[in-house]
Amino acid sequence: MSGQGYDWVGQDVERVDAVDKVTGAARYTADLKFPRLLHAAVVRSSLPHARLLHVDLGPALSVPGVKAAVCGRDVPFHVGIYLKDQTVFACDRVRYVGDPVAAVAAESPEAAAEAASRIAIDYEPLEPVFDVERGLEPDAPRVHPELGRYECVPWITPEPGTNVCNHLKVRKGDFDAALKRCAHVIENRFAVPQVQHVPLEPHVSVARVDLAGRVEIHTSAQSPFTVRHLLCACFGFKHADVRVIVPHVGGGFGGKAGINLEPIATALALRCDGRPVRVAVDRSEEFYAVVVRQGLQASLTSGVDENGRVIAQKMRYVWDCGAYGGYGVNVVRAAGYTCGGAYAFDHVQGDSIGVYTNRPIGSAYRGFGMQEIHWALESQMDAVAREIGMDPVEFRLRNCLGPGKATVTGQVLDESAGDVATCIRKVACGIGLDVDRTDPSGGGPIRRGRGMACAVKAPAMPNDAASSVILKFCEDATLELSLSGVDIGQGLRTVAAQYAAQALKLPIESVRVHNLPDTHLSPYDWQTVASRQTWATGNAVLRAAEDCKRQLLETAASALGRPADALELDAGCVRDPDSGRSVPLDRLVMGYLFEDGHAVGGPVAACAHFVPEGLLFLDPETSQSKKPVAKWTFGAQGVEISVDTRTGEIRVDRVVACYDVGKVVHPSLIRGQTFGGIVQGLGTGLMEELVLDRTSGRIANATLADYKIPSSLDAPRMEAGFLETPQADGPLGARGVGEHTMIPTPAAIANALVDACGVRVHSMPLTAEKVLAALDAREAGREGGHRGS
């Protein structure tokens, strides 16, 4: 971790390799070592659900080199961004295998591991809850008996006395009455498992508390200001006494949003007399000890009239939030108000329900619940079209959203909202769904098929989520841009520099972006989530640039003796177009000095922020609202696959994508985002799943040897196109697209499987075993398909 330039971070040292005695995994110290660094080992629950009767730290403290040991009774503080349902360490009970129970800090990793192994813990096992269906039963064990006492934000609605941590209801029109008028009623169930983010860099945090009680955190995170705020809420610190520094982050995908290891590191650092403490998870722990993507059980009922219009739509999304719902409850909420996807349904009954289980903690993941619900909804739309004998492309066009149509929450879209219908048409044409789709295999074992799916996502964020920036000129007219959005590979630095350069008519080489966020020195930014940085930070950059431009023109007006509104920026100078006279920026950015010695103006700098305007809360009973979200990004993907009917293996040969992004800011970056999202979507669609050992409650495939992710060998031929319907409040018309690119991929593959083989698999991932079972079931005369369970 980089810490150069801070008083307790110093000398370069050789990379030191050590072996963790607990796991046998290699551990590495940083090339830039924190002087007098202590190493932490966390003791985690070995049981999925149990009362915690006693924790004895004494034996650990007797190990040479141990400086501190801590458990729940020492820091019985709650933490959570939306629902504060988790303590730093388990206090009264443990709720999943991996729940932190205690931790030690020592001079070496070996000493820390030895001390951790000596901590004695007494448990009283309790019946675990591994499935949401069981969690909803009246007699199910309560994962959080004290749910009614937790603090939460007003728009999250836990149900005390149950395992429901949030429930969002969408009621529009009269579903029951409309269903009775339908010519066709089709019902299906779908399932999505928990999956892991698998970032290149596992979670790691270093904390130090100085002798004056000031806290400094270096952490691999997506949200430095949120980390600071949540630490202050947890420990009672003043915000000005907590400094959070985020170096270059090796991947996040939502798993490093919110807060993770930082409270554990802080709890130890409070007992270590000014010495820094490093807490990290190894690759195996990354699969279960930190957050994962939530699982989903979905039930859908579609009522269709004789013209192929869906007039009644029921959706029940039940989320496996795992042991704690601090962040995951907002995934539940976002899925609820987006439950209708890219479609205009007049009569809706939607329920999005978060359920506690004794599985790993569910949280944010790229797409924030959207891939999961689109897996269900887009599979359902395809199935409905086929059932009523309508072409799936035409069926989507007949039912999709567009200008003047209302979402499930009653928001009427305007002309700037995006054009999903054109996305559908372009993808259908690009993948060949508009031509004869006769399978050229001639009945052989390799069957080919094509399918498509739509996608939509809005930013799931508070109505006052803010981004701010600082612009200031150097003496040579180089522009420095400071921002706190975390660049985790999406190209934020490049895009911000583009906006600033274009607004101030500068060559991009003259812009320097400072972006290793430091809450003491950097401007505020809410979080790097929700595909919001190009949109939110981009707007802030343009506003700050406008202020800088005003200052430059006002100073130049005095220098040239002309009104400021008669002047213009032009390639590194301010020019008077009427006379042709100009003043170079390097004579203006620090103020202008006249020949007689008097000066005007001063150093040119500006700060600006962006907060979305006009957002309104959802109605608590129906979720209706004129503007519950700031923007929508629509798109579609089509896939072409080959299926080996002898083995059930699916190979994705080609993917065509189209998204309405408002404005393409950087063509190479947006193509990279799209192709990366497609490949990540292939992973969750075809191979990724956290497998639970239901006897022990452990994750059975918590290694990269057993948990498969796509490699370059799995990447298909990919093509991407983009529409540019300008977003009304977007910077130069742009809207976010980073997460959207992986949302429709699994559903498109499932729909292509139906096209190829006539069988539908209802649960992700689409493994060879499931496909082969569906083919065998069809051949045996039974209804094909793996129904969600």
Give the contacts of 44 (CB within 8 A, at least 6 positions apart): 97, 98, 99, 100, 101, 285, 289
Indicate the CATH number of 18-26+464-610 among 3.30.365.10, 3.30.70.1050, 3.60.15.10, 3.50.50.60.
3.30.365.10
Residue with tokens 């499987």: 753
φ/ψ (deg, to 5) at 137: -70, 145
* Whether the predicted pLDDT of 670 surpasses 90: yes
φ/ψ (deg, to 5) at 333: -65, -45
Residue 780 in tokens: 């045996």
Banded model confidence at residue 548, pLDDT cuts 50, 70, 90: very high
Matching CATH topology for 18-26+464-610 and 34-126+211-279?
A: no
* Whether the predicted pLDDT of 687 surpasses 50: yes
Q: How far is it, in rounded angstroms, from Cα 665 to Cα 736?
A: 11
Q: What order do you get walking across the sheet with 277-280 strand by strand?
A: 66-71, 100-106, 38-44, 277-280, 204-209, 215-219, 242-245
Task: Report the range of poorest mean pLDDT among 115-129, 428-442, 576-590.
Answer: 428-442
Residue 606 amino acid letter? A
> Is the CB of residue 269 less than 8 Å from the CB of residue 74?
no
Banded model confidence at residue 626, pLDDT cuts 50, 70, 90: very high
Q: What is the pLDDT of residues 635-654, one digit of tens each?
A: 999 999 999 999 999 999 99
φ/ψ (deg, to 5) at 201: -105, 120
How high is the pLDDT of residue 435?
Answer: 75
Banded model confidence at residue 443, pLDDT cuts 50, 70, 90: confident
CB atoms within 10 A of CB 412: 12
- Name the DSSP letter for residue 692: B
Q: Identify the CA nearest to 230 among candidates 163, 165, 151, 330.
A: 151
Residue 299 in tokens: 């039930």
* Whether the predicted pLDDT of 2 surpasses 80: no
Q: How far is it, in rounded angstroms, from Cα 256 to Cα 488?
A: 10
* Whether the predicted pLDDT of 199 surpasses 60: yes
Q: What is the pLDDT of residues 388-428, one digit of tens each?
A: 999 999 999 999 999 999 999 999 999 999 999 999 999 99
Dihedral sign for Cα 708, 713, 717, 719, please: positive
Average pLDDT for 244-267: 96
Classified as helix, coil or strand, 469 is strand
Residue 231 in tokens: 């630490």
Q: Identify the CA nearest to 368 among candidates 453, 487, 253.
A: 253
Q: 163 to each of 132, 147, 246, 455, 543, how far by Cα in Å?
A: 9, 8, 35, 30, 46
* Whether the predicted pLDDT of 49 surpasses 70: yes
Q: How far is it, in rounded angstroms, from Cα 591 to Cα 140?
A: 71
How high is the pLDDT of residue 553?
Answer: 98
* Whether the predicted pLDDT of 28 surpasses 60: no
Q: What residues are paired with 304 via a beta bridge?
A: 184, 310
For residue 225, the surrounding DSSP H or E stretch is helix 224-235
Banded model confidence at residue 70, pLDDT cuts 50, 70, 90: very high
Q: What is the pLDDT of residues 466-502, one digit of tens each?
A: 999 999 999 999 999 999 999 999 999 999 999 999 9
To the nearest 10°, report the CA torsion of 408, 409, 412, 417: -80
> Is the CB of residue 16 less than 8 Å from the CB of residue 29?
yes
Q: What is the pLDDT of residues 6-17, one digit of tens each?
A: 333 322 333 334
Q: How far is it, in rounded angstroms, from Cα 368 to Cα 293?
A: 9
CB atoms within 10 A of CB 176: 11
Average pLDDT for 343-348: 98
How high is the pLDDT of residue 662?
Answer: 98
Judge: domain 292-461+616-784, CATH 3.40.50.2000: no
Percent of the chain having pLDDT more than 90? 93
* Whether the predicted pLDDT of 516 surpasses 70: yes
* Whether the predicted pLDDT of 711 surpasses 50: yes
Give the contacts of 267 (CB within 8 A, at least 6 positions apart): 70, 74, 75, 88, 89, 103
Q: How far is it, in rounded angstroms, from Cα 718 to Cα 163?
A: 43
Residue 613 in tokens: 């305007």
CATH fold label, 34-126+211-279: Aldehyde Oxidoreductase; domain 3 (3.90.1170)
Residue 50 in tokens: 């149990």
Give the distance, in angstroms, between the CA of residue 266 and the centroid of all CA atoms in the same chain: 25
Range 439-474 burial, b when 16+ CB lie within 10 A, else e: eeeeeeeebbbbbbbbbbbbbbbebebbbbbbbbbe
Q: What residues are paired with 518 via a beta bridge?
A: 245
* Whether the predicted pLDDT of 436 surpasses 70: no
Q: Identify the CA nearest to 469 among candidates 515, 508, 511.
A: 515
- Computed over its alpha carbons, how large is the radius of gyration of the chain? 28
Q: What order do you get walking across the sheet with 347-356 strand by strand?
A: 164-172, 347-356, 310-322, 295-304, 184-192
> Is the CB of residue 543 less than 8 Å from the CB of residue 550?
no
* Whether the predicted pLDDT of 598 surpasses 60: yes
Q: 273 to each of 7, 10, 89, 211, 241, how far by Cα in Å?
A: 16, 18, 21, 7, 16
Q: What is the pLDDT of residues 727-741, one digit of tens each?
A: 999 999 999 999 999
* Whether the predicted pLDDT of 564 surpasses 90: yes
Q: How far is it, in rounded angstroms, from Cα 227 to Cα 223?
A: 6
How high is the pLDDT of residue 523?
Answer: 98
Q: What residues are paired with 640 via a beta bridge?
A: 450, 654
Rounded to 5°, angle at Cα 637 from 632 and 639? 165
Banded model confidence at residue 442, pLDDT cuts 50, 70, 90: low
Give the distance, in angstroms, between the CA of residue 538 and the centroid of all CA atoms in the same chain: 19
Banded model confidence at residue 599, pLDDT cuts 50, 70, 90: very high
The DSSP code sequence of 561-618 is TS-GGG-EE-SSEEE-TTT--EEEGGGTBEEEE-TTS-EEEEE-EEEEEE---S--PP
Classified as helix, coil or strand, 269 is helix
Residue with tokens 């600033």: 500
Task: Report the range of poorest mean pLDDT among 25-29, 148-152, 508-512.
Answer: 25-29
Cis peptide before 224 (omega within 30 of 0): no
Rounded to 5°, angle at Cα 456 from 450 and 457? 140
Report the greatest alpha carbon distance in the chain. 98
> Is the CB of residue 40 less than 8 Å from the CB of residue 113?
no
How high is the pLDDT of residue 101?
Answer: 98
* Whether the predicted pLDDT of 439 surpasses 90: no
Residue 777 in tokens: 């079931």
φ/ψ (deg, to 5) at 579: -95, -20
Angle 533-560/492-503 helices, nearest 10 degrees? 30
Q: What is the pLDDT of residues 743-761, one digit of tens each?
A: 999 999 999 999 999 999 9
Give the contacts of 101 (CB within 8 A, at least 6 positions apart): 43, 44, 45, 52, 55, 71, 72, 89, 90, 94, 119, 121
Q: How far is it, in rounded angstroms, from Cα 681 to Cα 378?
A: 14
Banded model confidence at residue 441, pLDDT cuts 50, 70, 90: low
Residue 686 amino acid letter? L
Q: What is the 3-state secondary structure (H, E, C) of 178-206?
A: HHHCCCEEEEEEEEECCECCCCCCCCEEE
Classified as helix, coil or strand, 121 is strand
Average pLDDT for 328-342: 98
Q: What is the pLDDT of residues 605-617, one digit of tens each?
A: 999 999 999 999 9
Residue 367 amino acid letter? G
Residue 631 amino acid letter? K
* Whether the predicted pLDDT of 30 surpasses 70: no
How high is the pLDDT of residue 12?
Answer: 30
Classified as helix, coil or strand, 698 is coil
> Is the CB of residue 497 less than 8 Å from the CB of residue 509?
no
* Whether the predicted pLDDT of 25 surpasses 90: no
Q: How far is it, in rounded angstroms, from Cα 190 to Cα 545?
A: 49
* Whether the predicted pLDDT of 210 surpasses 50: yes
Hey, where are the domains in the chain? 18-26+464-610, 34-126+211-279, 292-461+616-784
* Strand 310-322 relative to strand 347-356, pairing: parallel
Distance in Å from the first CA to the final CA of the chain: 43
Q: How far is it, in rounded angstroms, from Cα 607 to Cα 589?
A: 15
> Is the CB of residue 637 less than 8 Å from the CB of residue 744?
yes
